[in-house]
Protein backbone atom coordinates (compact mmCIF):
# COMPACT_ATOMS: atom_id res chain seq x y z
CA UNK A 1 0.00 0.00 0.00
CA UNK A 2 2.81 2.44 0.87
CA UNK A 3 4.62 1.68 -2.40
CA UNK A 4 1.37 2.19 -4.27
CA UNK A 5 0.79 5.54 -2.59
CA UNK A 6 4.35 6.63 -3.40
CA UNK A 7 3.86 5.72 -7.05
CA UNK A 8 0.55 7.62 -7.09
CA UNK A 9 2.25 10.70 -5.67
CA UNK A 10 4.84 10.43 -8.46
CA UNK A 11 2.10 10.19 -11.08
CA UNK A 12 2.86 6.55 -11.95
CA UNK A 13 -0.79 5.56 -11.73
CA UNK A 14 -0.68 2.19 -13.52
CA UNK A 15 2.22 0.98 -11.38
CA UNK A 16 0.49 2.34 -8.29
CA UNK A 17 -2.65 0.38 -9.16
CA UNK A 18 -0.70 -2.87 -9.52
CA UNK A 19 0.91 -2.41 -6.09
CA UNK A 20 -2.34 -1.45 -4.40
CA UNK A 21 -4.16 -4.44 -5.88
CA UNK A 22 -1.36 -6.68 -4.59
CA UNK A 23 -1.74 -5.12 -1.15
CA UNK A 24 -5.49 -5.73 -1.25
CA UNK A 25 -5.05 -9.36 -2.35
CA UNK A 26 -2.58 -10.03 0.47
CA UNK A 27 -4.75 -8.30 3.04
CA UNK A 28 -7.90 -10.18 2.02
CA UNK A 29 -6.13 -13.46 2.78
CA UNK A 30 -5.77 -12.35 6.40
CA UNK A 31 -8.94 -10.41 7.19
CA UNK A 32 -12.61 -10.21 6.26
CA UNK A 33 -13.69 -7.97 3.33
CA UNK A 34 -15.13 -5.48 5.83
CA UNK A 35 -12.09 -5.23 8.10
CA UNK A 36 -11.40 -1.61 9.01
CA UNK A 37 -7.86 -1.78 7.63
CA UNK A 38 -9.23 -2.25 4.12
CA UNK A 39 -10.94 1.15 3.99
CA UNK A 40 -7.73 3.00 3.11
CA UNK A 41 -6.74 0.46 0.44
CA UNK A 42 -10.17 0.55 -1.21
CA UNK A 43 -10.04 4.35 -1.08
CA UNK A 44 -6.59 4.55 -2.65
CA UNK A 45 -7.51 2.13 -5.43
CA UNK A 46 -10.59 4.24 -6.12
CA UNK A 47 -8.52 7.41 -6.37
CA UNK A 48 -6.13 5.71 -8.81
CA UNK A 49 -9.04 4.68 -11.05
CA UNK A 50 -10.21 8.29 -10.88
CA UNK A 51 -6.81 9.49 -12.05
CA UNK A 52 -6.92 6.94 -14.88
CA UNK A 53 -10.37 8.15 -15.92
CA UNK A 54 -12.18 4.92 -15.04
CA UNK A 55 -14.90 6.60 -13.01
CA UNK A 56 -17.17 3.56 -12.68
CA UNK A 57 -14.43 1.56 -10.97
CA UNK A 58 -13.47 4.60 -8.93
CA UNK A 59 -17.00 4.86 -7.55
CA UNK A 60 -17.08 1.11 -6.90
CA UNK A 61 -13.95 1.16 -4.74
CA UNK A 62 -14.74 4.42 -2.97
CA UNK A 63 -18.15 3.05 -2.04
CA UNK A 64 -16.48 -0.13 -0.74
CA UNK A 65 -14.26 2.07 1.39
CA UNK A 66 -17.29 3.99 2.63
CA UNK A 67 -19.18 0.78 3.45
CA UNK A 68 -16.28 -0.41 5.60
CA UNK A 69 -16.08 2.92 7.40
CA UNK A 70 -19.83 2.93 8.07
CA UNK A 71 -19.45 -0.41 9.84
CA UNK A 72 -16.66 0.80 12.11
CA UNK A 73 -16.88 4.58 12.52
CA UNK A 74 -19.49 6.80 14.22
CA UNK A 75 -21.87 8.59 11.85
CA UNK A 76 -20.12 11.95 12.26
CA UNK A 77 -16.53 10.69 11.81
CA UNK A 78 -14.43 13.08 9.66
CA UNK A 79 -13.25 10.17 7.52
CA UNK A 80 -16.83 9.63 6.34
CA UNK A 81 -16.97 13.23 5.13
CA UNK A 82 -13.73 12.60 3.25
CA UNK A 83 -15.30 9.58 1.50
CA UNK A 84 -18.54 11.34 0.63
CA UNK A 85 -16.57 14.27 -0.76
CA UNK A 86 -14.45 11.97 -2.95
CA UNK A 87 -17.54 10.18 -4.24
CA UNK A 88 -19.19 13.52 -4.96
CA UNK A 89 -16.15 14.67 -6.94
CA UNK A 90 -16.34 11.64 -9.23
CA UNK A 91 -20.08 12.08 -9.79
CA UNK A 92 -19.24 15.68 -10.68
CA UNK A 93 -16.67 14.53 -13.24
CA UNK A 94 -19.21 12.09 -14.70
CA UNK A 95 -21.80 14.85 -15.07
CA UNK A 96 -24.05 13.37 -12.38
CA UNK A 97 -24.56 16.72 -10.69
CA UNK A 98 -27.57 15.83 -8.53
CA UNK A 99 -25.76 12.77 -7.17
CA UNK A 100 -22.66 14.86 -6.59
CA UNK A 101 -24.70 17.35 -4.59
CA UNK A 102 -26.20 14.60 -2.44
CA UNK A 103 -22.75 13.29 -1.56
CA UNK A 104 -21.35 16.77 -0.96
CA UNK A 105 -24.30 17.66 1.27
CA UNK A 106 -23.72 14.60 3.47
CA UNK A 107 -20.04 15.52 3.71
CA UNK A 108 -20.99 19.09 4.61
CA UNK A 109 -23.46 17.95 7.29
CA UNK A 110 -20.72 15.89 8.94
CA UNK A 111 -18.15 18.67 8.72
CA UNK A 112 -20.52 21.25 10.18
CA UNK A 113 -20.97 19.00 13.22
CA UNK A 114 -17.28 18.26 13.72
CA UNK A 115 -15.26 21.24 12.49
CA UNK A 116 -14.98 24.89 13.55
CA UNK A 117 -17.17 27.15 11.41
CA UNK A 118 -14.10 28.75 9.81
CA UNK A 119 -12.22 25.54 8.99
CA UNK A 120 -10.71 25.50 5.45
CA UNK A 121 -12.23 22.07 4.76
CA UNK A 122 -15.66 23.70 4.93
CA UNK A 123 -14.55 26.20 2.31
CA UNK A 124 -13.47 23.33 0.08
CA UNK A 125 -16.84 21.60 0.30
CA UNK A 126 -18.69 24.89 -0.28
CA UNK A 127 -16.60 25.33 -3.41
CA UNK A 128 -17.42 21.81 -4.59
CA UNK A 129 -21.13 22.43 -4.07
CA UNK A 130 -20.80 25.69 -5.96
CA UNK A 131 -19.22 23.90 -8.92
CA UNK A 132 -22.12 21.44 -9.05
CA UNK A 133 -24.72 24.20 -9.01
CA UNK A 134 -22.79 26.13 -11.63
CA UNK A 135 -22.69 23.02 -13.83
CA UNK A 136 -26.47 22.83 -13.47
CA UNK A 137 -26.72 26.49 -14.62
CA UNK A 138 -27.98 27.56 -11.18
CA UNK A 139 -25.58 30.48 -11.14
CA UNK A 140 -26.98 32.52 -8.26
CA UNK A 141 -26.95 29.50 -5.96
CA UNK A 142 -23.42 28.68 -7.08
CA UNK A 143 -22.35 32.25 -6.32
CA UNK A 144 -23.80 32.01 -2.81
CA UNK A 145 -21.69 28.93 -2.09
CA UNK A 146 -18.55 30.51 -3.53
CA UNK A 147 -19.15 33.51 -1.26
CA UNK A 148 -19.41 31.18 1.74
CA UNK A 149 -16.13 29.55 0.73
CA UNK A 150 -14.45 32.92 0.26
CA UNK A 151 -15.58 34.21 3.66
CA UNK A 152 -13.92 31.24 5.35
CA UNK A 153 -10.77 31.45 3.24
CA UNK A 154 -10.34 35.16 3.95
CA UNK A 155 -10.63 34.40 7.65
CA UNK A 156 -8.57 31.22 7.97
CA UNK A 157 -6.01 31.21 5.14
CA UNK A 158 -3.08 33.49 4.29
CA UNK A 159 -4.14 36.37 2.04
CA UNK A 160 -2.18 34.96 -0.89
CA UNK A 161 -3.31 31.34 -0.61
CA UNK A 162 -3.86 29.69 -4.04
CA UNK A 163 -7.21 28.24 -2.93
CA UNK A 164 -8.53 31.76 -2.45
CA UNK A 165 -7.42 32.65 -5.97
CA UNK A 166 -9.35 29.67 -7.30
CA UNK A 167 -12.48 30.83 -5.49
CA UNK A 168 -12.16 34.34 -6.92
CA UNK A 169 -11.80 32.80 -10.38
CA UNK A 170 -14.90 30.65 -9.84
CA UNK A 171 -16.87 33.72 -8.78
CA UNK A 172 -15.71 35.54 -11.91
CA UNK A 173 -16.93 32.71 -14.14
CA UNK A 174 -20.37 32.83 -12.52
CA UNK A 175 -20.55 36.60 -12.85
CA UNK A 176 -19.71 36.31 -16.54
CA UNK A 177 -22.57 33.84 -16.92
CA UNK A 178 -24.82 36.38 -15.19
CA UNK A 179 -23.66 39.14 -17.54
CA UNK A 180 -21.96 41.10 -14.75
CA UNK A 181 -18.71 41.62 -16.63
CA UNK A 182 -17.27 44.51 -14.63
CA UNK A 183 -17.76 42.62 -11.37
CA UNK A 184 -16.30 39.52 -13.00
CA UNK A 185 -13.24 41.51 -14.07
CA UNK A 186 -12.75 42.71 -10.49
CA UNK A 187 -12.80 39.20 -9.06
CA UNK A 188 -10.58 37.82 -11.79
CA UNK A 189 -8.12 40.60 -10.99
CA UNK A 190 -8.10 39.40 -7.37
CA UNK A 191 -7.38 35.85 -8.56
CA UNK A 192 -4.62 37.07 -10.85
CA UNK A 193 -3.01 39.23 -8.15
CA UNK A 194 -2.73 36.24 -5.80
CA UNK A 195 -1.54 33.88 -8.51
CA UNK A 196 1.16 36.32 -9.62
CA UNK A 197 2.54 36.34 -6.07
CA UNK A 198 2.42 32.61 -5.39
CA UNK A 199 2.67 30.65 -8.65
CA UNK A 200 5.37 30.17 -11.26
CA UNK A 201 4.85 32.23 -14.45
CA UNK A 202 4.02 29.11 -16.46
CA UNK A 203 1.76 27.49 -13.85
CA UNK A 204 -1.49 26.30 -15.51
CA UNK A 205 -3.69 28.17 -13.03
CA UNK A 206 -1.85 31.45 -13.57
CA UNK A 207 -2.01 31.01 -17.34
CA UNK A 208 -5.76 30.31 -17.09
CA UNK A 209 -6.42 33.32 -14.85
CA UNK A 210 -4.39 35.64 -17.08
CA UNK A 211 -6.17 34.46 -20.22
CA UNK A 212 -9.60 34.73 -18.62
CA UNK A 213 -8.87 38.22 -17.30
CA UNK A 214 -7.89 39.35 -20.79
CA UNK A 215 -11.05 37.89 -22.30
CA UNK A 216 -13.29 39.60 -19.73
CA UNK A 217 -11.40 42.86 -20.15
CA UNK A 218 -11.98 42.78 -23.92
CA UNK A 219 -15.69 42.23 -23.29
CA UNK A 220 -15.87 45.14 -20.81
CA UNK A 221 -14.08 47.49 -23.22
CA UNK A 222 -16.31 46.48 -26.12
CA UNK A 223 -19.41 47.20 -24.04
CA UNK A 224 -18.10 50.64 -23.07
CA UNK A 225 -17.40 51.48 -26.70
CA UNK A 226 -20.96 50.75 -27.81
Nearest residue to 90 (alpha-carbon basis) of 51, 145, 40, 130: 51
pTM above 0.95, yes or no: no
| Range(s) of the domain holding residue 4 | 1-72
Give, for all 226 residues of the chain, the pLDDT tens digit. Answer: 555 555 555 566 777 888 888 889 999 999 988 899 999 999 999 998 998 999 999 999 999 999 999 999 999 999 999 999 999 999 999 999 999 999 999 999 999 999 999 999 999 999 999 999 999 999 999 999 999 999 999 999 999 999 999 999 999 999 999 999 999 999 999 999 999 999 999 999 999 999 999 999 999 999 988 7
Question: 85 in a domain, yes or no?
Answer: no
Question: 14 in a domain, yes or no?
Answer: yes
Question: 151 in a domain, yes or no?
Answer: no
Count of structural domains within the chain: 1
Question: 157 in a domain, yes or no?
Answer: no
Question: 154 in a domain, yes or no?
Answer: no
Question: 80 in a domain, yes or no?
Answer: no
Question: 206 in a domain, yes or no?
Answer: no
Distance separating alpha carbons of residues 35 and 28, to the nearest angstrom: 9
Residues 6+ apart with CB under 8 A from 208: 169
Kindly report the CATH number assigned to the domain that includes residue 51: 1.25.40.10
Question: 95 in a domain, yes or no?
Answer: no
Amino acid sequence: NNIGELQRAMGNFSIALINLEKALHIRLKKVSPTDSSLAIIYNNIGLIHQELGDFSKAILYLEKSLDVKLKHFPSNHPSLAFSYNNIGAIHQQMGHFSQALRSYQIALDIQQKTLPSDHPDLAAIYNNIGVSYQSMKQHLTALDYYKKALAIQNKSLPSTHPDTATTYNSMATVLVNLGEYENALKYEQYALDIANQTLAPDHPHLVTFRDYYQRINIKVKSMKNK
